[in-house]
């Protein structure tokens, strides 16, 4: 029996291990059609919107995608990274990937890359590139501290969809949520302490604002709400604050359904109306600054606070690609790569 392989047979590249960081997504530009493409991909995801499909198709295509792209494009334009002509979420996620790659460079087998669930670079494109580079094992790291089906699960769904199209599949791991990891809580606490020390005022209240979701998702068994509360409790304990000094709220509600409460904007307005003059907001559920932190919190909610009688408002930056934030990502990756390296 001949052992000769046919011409053009696939060769076996050197075995490598890929680490793919994934964040939510970003439009390619702020114009109407770029925003429309992005919003259509995002709002067509059945993990994000669990409405009746026929009803939602009509609402999305006849109403939302007609009016929302222009409004959201103007919001993105306020916080656009004009130097790179991209969103800051893309800028920061790329930097997180670069810094993680540098930290792991001591092991030549490791290849670090990044992707977006919605928009570019896509998960499929980066998984294909990793496989072509010889990665037979890939760790997918959704950059969400708290698990939600609409964030973490949809990243994994898209990765598995890409794997389904591959003849030669790499082995894949997906990183678990890290909402209660000591290194994450310490990084948040350090960020708060350092940011407060730089302010020209002392906040009477700190709000920890997490992205919201419909209450129905919690009732269906999503652990996100509970994990947010665990993060807030551990952060309070570390900072020695009570639940009146560090409050938990949920932002970014969308549509007529009831969402997780208390709402951030309603709370901000109520605090100002009852006489709170100095307020700081942190966003522990976001691994990097984005539209929801730079525009919704730092601009929109700051205006709400001051219009209701508040005076000093501070939006504390996310962990981003700073030293504490990178320690969190490195810790998660090291935890999940055990047994592979």
Q: What are the residue boundaries of the structural domains of the chain, listed by start? A: 182-315
Fold entry, domain 182-315: Rossmann fold (3.40.50)
Tell whether the model's pLDDT for residue 1 goes beyond 50.
Answer: no
What's the confidence (pLDDT) of residue 3?
46
Tell whether the model's pLDDT for residue 2 goes beyond 60.
Answer: no
Tell whether the model's pLDDT for residue 4 goes beyond 60.
Answer: no
pLDDT digits (tens, 9 = 90+) for 73-104: 999 999 999 999 999 999 999 999 999 999 99
pLDDT digits (tens, 9 = 90+) for 139-157: 999 999 999 999 999 999 9
Q: Counting Cβ atoms within 10 Å, is residue 122 exposed (0-12), middle (13-18) or buried (19+)?
A: middle
Q: Which candidate, 23, 18, 19, places its Cα nearest to that of 318? A: 23
pTM tops 0.85, yes or no: yes
320's torsion region: left (phi>0), alpha (psi -120 to 50) or beta? left
Span 62-74, mean pLDDT? 95
Span 219-242, mean pLDDT? 98
| Mean pLDDT taken over the chain | 95
Where does the pLDDT of residue 276 fall: very low under 50, low under 70, confident under 90, or very high at 90 and above? very high
- Here the tokens at position 182 are 């000591």
Where does the pLDDT of residue 178 fall: very low under 50, low under 70, confident under 90, or very high at 90 and above? very high
Q: 145-182 burial, b if ≥16 CB within 10 A, otherwise e?
A: bbbbbbbbbbbbbbbeebeeeeeeebebbbbebbbebe
Cα distances (Å, whole numbers) of residue 302 to 204, 251, 315, 321: 15, 13, 8, 24
Where does the pLDDT of residue 254 fall: very low under 50, low under 70, confident under 90, or very high at 90 and above? confident
Pairwise CA distance, residues 99 & 110, whole Å: 13
Identify the bridge partners of residue 280 per DSSP, sorted by sequence position: 206, 314
Strands 246-251 and 135-142: unpaired
What's the confidence (pLDDT) of residue 256?
85
Strand order, beta sheet including 110-119: 110-119, 16-26, 135-142, 171-174
């Amino acid at each position: 029996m001949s052992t000769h392989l046919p011409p053009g047979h696939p060769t076996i590249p050197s075995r490598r291990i890929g680490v793919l960081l994934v964040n939510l997504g970003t439009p390619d530009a702020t114009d109407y059609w770029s925003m429309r493409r992005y919003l259509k991909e995002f709002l067509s995801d059945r993990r994000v919107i669990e409405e009746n499909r026929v009803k939602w198709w009509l609402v999305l295509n006849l109403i939302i995608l007609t009016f929302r792209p222009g409004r959201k494009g103007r919001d993105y334009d306020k916080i656009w990274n004009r130097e790179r002509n991209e969103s800051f979420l893309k800028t920061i996620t790329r930097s997180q990937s670069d810094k993680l790659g540098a930290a792991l460079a001591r092991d030549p087998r490791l290849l670090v890359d990044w992707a977006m669930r919605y928009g570019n670079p896509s998960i499929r494109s980066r998984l294909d590139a990793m496989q072509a580079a010889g990665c037979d094992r890939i760790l997918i790291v959704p950059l969400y501290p708290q698990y939600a089906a609409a964030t973490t699960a949809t990243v994994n769904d898209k990765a598995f969809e890409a794997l389904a199209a591959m003849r030669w599949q790499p082995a894949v791991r997906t990183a678990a949520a890290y909402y209660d990891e000591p290194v994450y809580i310490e990084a948040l606490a350090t960020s708060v302490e350092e940011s407060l020390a730089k302010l020209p005022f002392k906040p009477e209240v700190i709000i920890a604002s997490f992205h919201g979701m419909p209450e129905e998702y919690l009732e269906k068994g999503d652990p996100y709400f509970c994990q947010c509360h665990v993060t807030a409790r551990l952060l309070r304990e570390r900072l020695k604050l009570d639940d009146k000094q560090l409050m938990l709220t949920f932002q970014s509600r969308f549509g007529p359904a009831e969402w997780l409460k208390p709402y951030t904007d309603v709370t901000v307005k109520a605090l100002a109306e009852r006489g709170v003059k100095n307020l700081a907001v942190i966003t522990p559920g976001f691994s990097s600054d984005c539209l929801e932190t730079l525009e919704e919190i730092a601009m929109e909610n700051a205006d709400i606070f001051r219009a209701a009688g508040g005076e000093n408002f501070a939006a504390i930056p996310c962990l981003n690609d700073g030293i504490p934030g990178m320690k969190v990502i490195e810790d998660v990756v090291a935890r999940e790569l055990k047994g592979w390296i």
